[in-house]
Chains A and B, each alone.
Chain A
Amino acid sequence: MRTIKPAPVRRSLEVKASLERAFEVFTTGFGRWWPHSHTIGKGKLKTAVIEPRIGGRWYGEDEDGATTDWGRVLAFEPPSRLMLAWQIGSDWRYDAEVITEVEIRFTSIAAGLTLVELEHRNLERLGDKFEEVRVTFESPNGWGMIMKLYAAAAEAA
């Protein structure tokens, strides 16, 4: 019986850009910055898209044109709020029944300076579907990749 309720992931950062630009780059400009390593599709990631409306798709597109859904847009409120459903379930695939919420809020601190806050919550909903993914994580390749990322982040800090 799963009683562990993991705390949400929370990150915040200050961006030297106007509120409107920050929101625009995050949403309309999503494909310009989303890391190509962050994909669940089979092929190499060419671009990624957040469709700019409630119910819009959130997906990656491979170099061969195939698209892979990652989730949906739950809220679209320019320039201050975006909420996405991250719906990656077992076997590292999109699963309509898995809904974890990613809320991103944009707040103006000063002209040309914006606070961007991200919260990824309801992670316990990943638990039931993520068992197979956990096994992947525990494979040498899975953990090797994660450890490399951690090492890079820690050394850059």
Chain B
Amino acid sequence: MTYAHDALGALADPTRRRIFERLSSGPAAVGEIARGLPVSRPAVSQHLKALKQAGLVTDRPEGTRRVYQIDPAGLGAVRAWLDQFWLVALDAFKVEAERDDKAGPGEGGHI
């Protein structure tokens, strides 16, 4: 499995982002998360599995429940952040590099 794209891919889905956001205010069991969303419990489970595979959340058993939380090591989340950081930066670089010399300001004078 290529880990490299998992984090960005995992958060590309808006429902997964909402689940991730929900966990940012504290750990929660699957049922609790599902109750706050217009999504079925099994669907929430699948989304949590994807977030776990991307290294963004971890889980632990609590009696009969599974409680999820944002990865306490933080590295999955940091990596996801850096992934996005560089995407935004490189998009801006591409625009500037492709800008027509003659049309742009600040370049050496051309006639």
Contacts and interface: CB of A to CB of B under 8 A. Distances in A.
Interface of A: 2, 4, 6-11, 13, 15-17, 21-22, 25-26, 29, 32-35, 37-38, 114, 116, 118, 120, 123-124, 126-127, 130-131, 133-134, 137-138, 140, 143, 146-147, 149-151, 153-154, 157
Contact of A17 (B55, B80, B98): B98
A6 B93 CA distance: 26
Interface centre among A21, A138, A157 (most CB of B within 10 A): A138
A33 B75 contact: no
Contacts of A33: 92-93, 95-97
A127 B73 contact: yes
B77 A9 contact: no
B93 A146 contact: no
A37 B75 CA distance: 22
B interface, over-half SS: helix
Contacts of B3: 6-7
A140 B94 CA distance: 31
Contact of A131 (B74, B76, B80, B93): B74
B49 interface: no
A29 B96 contact: yes
Contacts of B12: 150, 153-154, 157
Nearest to B94: A15
Given A137-B78, A150-B12, A9 B97 contact: no
A2 B73 CA distance: 8
B32 interface: no
Contacts of A21: 97
Contact of A10 (B4, B76, B94, B96): B4
B19 to A, nearest CB: 11
Interface in B17-42: 17, 20-21, 24-25
A146 B81 contact: yes
